[in-house]
Structure formats: structure tokens, C-alpha cells
A and B are shown apart, each in its own frame.
Chain A
């Protein structure tokens, strides 16, 4: 089953001093990951940055799997980063502008990870600025069809973040396929569900927010990549629609 997973860590609001305490980081990093940090090229990173990079990778994998395994609980130390490739230029820059949306997954700006969770392999792409870390994961190493975006909002706070991240994801859907009456609701488990004309679609969407930052990732199914295609009727067999069963209240 298709899924999506992303995460954001607002570096501005984490407790960086606490992050460096063994009692804290040992609940997030496996022994192997702690050893990985001691590799020559990783030692150039501040440890807390490494820690929160891995947190965002692990949280993204958890969100990816939660859609297909609703009873799954989050234990970061059991989601294991196997390896990570760093960008060649690693000096941190500021997040500038209001929005960032990716145009590919092979750019040198990304931290590229390979993760093992149980017997499954996942691939990650992360971007780090002074203000934040953001990650997207996929079980497909090509990341084909996966869209990923970040937006800075004026005021943090749960309700504002929640509204802003939905508006951001809906604006992306609307820009790709206008006039489809997109909506986002929350499943009883907690993951977002994309509706089209009030009916559930199979578009896997993941939302994240922390501090002043919100972000989405979703797998665009083939009809989404054809913006010139007219809005299909609800009976169209090409649409990935499901019956409106298992619908949850609007989040």
C-alpha cells in the first residue's frame, strides 16, 4: 500500500543542551547510530544536529508505517539509520522566503539516508537550515512522484499550525489539479486522508508542523501529474476513490 511520511524539527525551540545528555539521546539513537556518529565525516556535525536529523528521519518512517499499521507505536531507537550521505557543502544557511518545494531528490543539498525498520528498507531525504530540519521518506529509492514542501508561518501554536499545514497541502493539490474540491480530514488513527468531492482518495499524504514551520509530503498518483486533465466525475474508473466508509470527522 502506498504511503507517505515527513517530519519537521524546529531547531529554534528544541532544548539543545538536553539533547546532548546520554539519558536523552539514548532513547532515540541505537548503539549502532551512536557509533555511526563517530565516523570522520559525521563528527563535523554538531551532535545535537545529528540527533535531531535522525529523529526527523525516524519520525517520518513511523508516520509512513502508521498508515498501514495503525496499532504501531513510536519507538525511535528501533528504527535504525544504516547509512547517510552528507551534502558536500555543509555550512548551515537560513531558511529564506516563505515557501520551499522540492524539484527533485538527487540535489547535493540533501542528506540522504538508508533506514532499516524490521525487515523493511526506507530511504530519506533531509534538508537542514539554521532554523529547522525537514525530512521526507519513501520505500521507493527513486522518490518518483513524491512531492514535498515547507512553509514558514507567522505565529506558532497548534491550531494555527494545523490550519496552515492543511491550507498549504490543499494549495499544492489545487495547483496540480485545480477544481477537484480537495479536502483533508484526519483518520481515527491520526493520519490525514485526502478527499476529492467528498470522497476518499488513495493519495497518501503526510503532514508535519513544529514551531514556525509546517510541511507536507504526498505521493502524486498519475492523474495528478496531468494538470490539463479536466476534473473527472465521481464515477470515473481512473480515480483512486474509495467509498466514503471509515470517514472520520474533520480535523
Chain B
């Protein structure tokens, strides 16, 4: 699965947690989950759990800490899928 495919799926993962649907449609690697998508920090664990379920991976604490932008989320998911 390439980055673009993961990015497209990630939009579906993030959708329940952001009010800014227009911003969500235009996300890229640099989009910050909290600052740009205005996702409440209380939902960050939800997103990690949803990603774990969607990609059948386990995201450890050190990796979860890196999931700040869309790009870093994709990096973590791809690294876990490669294992």
C-alpha cells in the first residue's frame, strides 16, 4: 500500500474527530492533527486505536508519540505494516 492510498484511508479514520471537513479533504503530509484539523487531544488515542484496527498493526508508545502530522502518521503506519 503506497502513501497516497494510506492518506486516502486516513481521511476516513480522522473524519469523526474533526469539524473542518474542508481542511480534511485537502490534507497532506504537513497537516497537523491538532493545530490544523483542530482535533481535540482527547481524541488522539481514538485515532491511534482506529488506525491499529484498520491496518491490523500495533502502535507502541514511542511510535504513537510521533503521530503529530498526517505525514508522521503515514510513516508510522507504513513502518508497522512492513513488519
- Contact surface of A with B, Cβ cutoff 8 Å: 9, 14-15, 18, 21, 23-24, 27-28, 55, 59, 73-78, 157-158, 190, 210
Contact = CB atoms under 8 A, between A and B. Distances in A.
B49 A23 contact: yes
Contact of B61 (A18, A75, A210): A75
B35 interface: yes
Contacts of B49: 18, 21, 23-24, 27
Interface stretch (B6-14, B37-45, B74-82): B37-45
A74 B41 contact: yes
Interface of B: 19-20, 34-35, 38, 40-42, 44-46, 48-49, 52, 61-62, 64-66, 68
Nearest to B64: A27
Contacts of A9: 42
A157 B68 CA distance: 22
A78 B46 contact: no
Contact of B52 (A14, A23, A74): A23
A74 B65 contact: yes
Closest CB pairs A-B (n = 7): A75-B65, A158-B38, A73-B65, A27-B45, A77-B61, A158-B19, A24-B49
